[in-house]
Amino acid sequence: MGYNKSMLKSFSYRLYPTAEQQSLLARTFGSVRFVYNRLLEYRNKAYERRKESRNYYDCNAFLRKLKDIYPWLRDVNSQSLQMANKNLDTAFRNFFRNPGKTGYPTFKKRCARQSFQCPQNVKVDYKAATVYLPKIGWIDCVFHRRFKGDVKTVTVVLEPSGKYYVRILVENGICKAGTDRKLPTSLDDVLGIDMGVKTLAVCSDGTEYQNNRHLANSERKLKVLQRRVARKKKGSSNRKKAIKKLARCHEKIRNQRDDTIEKTTADIVNKNHVAVCVEDLNTKGMMHNHRLAKAISDASFSRFLARLEQKCIEHGTLFIKVPRFYASSKLCSNCGYIYKDLTLSEREWKCPVCNVVHDRDRNGSVNIQKKGYEMMTIPVDGGKSTPVKTNMVDDRANAPKKPNVEKAGIVLENTTQEAPCL
């Protein structure tokens, strides 16, 4: 149950670039997208013509050739272009690692949400409230909090609403989790949580967190804005304005949902329990239920559980997942009787053995609490730990000594192409 003491944490800040800086950011967005697409084309044609694969180092050599053909690529931060190559290589690795689950890398189009990464040479001035980006300069920024730790990657994002953000990924050592964490000594040290659509989370101590249904409450407004977009002429300035208003509405819904999740998970972790137990939900499988898919997506179970786990790690709290097939709602928490005929519409049921009336969510949270406590106190295999097999792979062994750009037989066309603009 151990966690690493260092963890990655992202901080997002709002940027306010000038008109000139917005032009430079737009050129960077377009150049990064252009390089990504040309490198993907390079890999595809190499395999189609010669049945040969191209790796990260081959694409780096091809990127240098692209800069000679398109001089305007040198006006952009070179490391941002290299990160496009790295992201493409990661996409191919994920595809070959999970061919059935991860799709083949596709070309990127100029969409409403755009981004680029800066791995180095980014400076932050808290007093002046500015951020320095290579080849762009100092940009006004709003710091709502300071970060501590080593900066790993900086990502600049343009949201569909027209707002600019800088997201700083930091590796810090503030995690309290480690080998010195204690196990619960009683059932009161464990908190069980049952998640649902009607009530977002019901805790074993009786606390309930309501589902605010942010998407459902804004559906009427979304319908009006979507109708306005549909009635505007394609390509017109009025259509662009209507699309931006629609994007702002979606952004507000997302911010409301994130705010609810952050406050709820923070309140749960601040209860200072030794362990927090939840059900291992198959959210992807639950989305196949077309009657509940929208409500489940609106509640964002995956996001909730991910943030709860992260905060438990930060505070040194054990985070336990109870098996998903454990009948938490059908099991009587008082006597252990299993009510097999329990339906989803039944919010309460009476145990025929002990005559106790159960609220299905509260009863489920108590059973999750007991099951999680049982999992932590009963040793597995007589208390012996089972070693985990891991594959040690050194990618440098597969790297070619001399990457060959011309080997694929690709001809760079349209050498007079201008710099991409947004």
Q: What is the pLDDT of residue 67?
A: 94
User: Token match 């377009």: residue?
Assistant: 30
Q: How many CB atoms lie within 10 A of CB 207?
A: 15
pTM: 0.79
161-182 pLDDT, tens digit each = 999 999 999 987 555 554 456 7
User: Token match 């001399």: residue?
Assistant: 402
Average pLDDT, the chain: 85
101 has a pLDDT exceeding 80: yes
Q: What is the pLDDT of residue 418?
A: 47
Separation between Cα atoms, residue 325 and residue 16, nearest integer Å:
49
112-161 pLDDT, tens digit each = 789 999 999 999 999 999 999 999 999 999 999 998 888 999 999 999 99
Q: What is the pLDDT of residue 124?
A: 93
| pLDDT band, very low/low/confident/very high, at 314 (cuts 50, 70, 90) | confident
DSSP state of 326: -
CB 190 within 8 A of CB 202: no
Q: What is the pLDDT of residue 333?
A: 84
222-265 pLDDT, tens digit each = 999 999 999 999 999 999 999 999 999 999 999 999 999 999 99
Active site residues: 194, 279, 361
Q: What is the pLDDT of residue 33?
A: 96
Which helix or strand (DSSP H or E) is residue 290 part of?
none
377 has a pLDDT exceeding 60: yes
Separation between Cα atoms, residue 222 and residue 202, nearest integer Å:
30
Q: Among the listed ranges 71-80, 367-376, 401-410, which one has the minimum average pLDDT value? A: 401-410
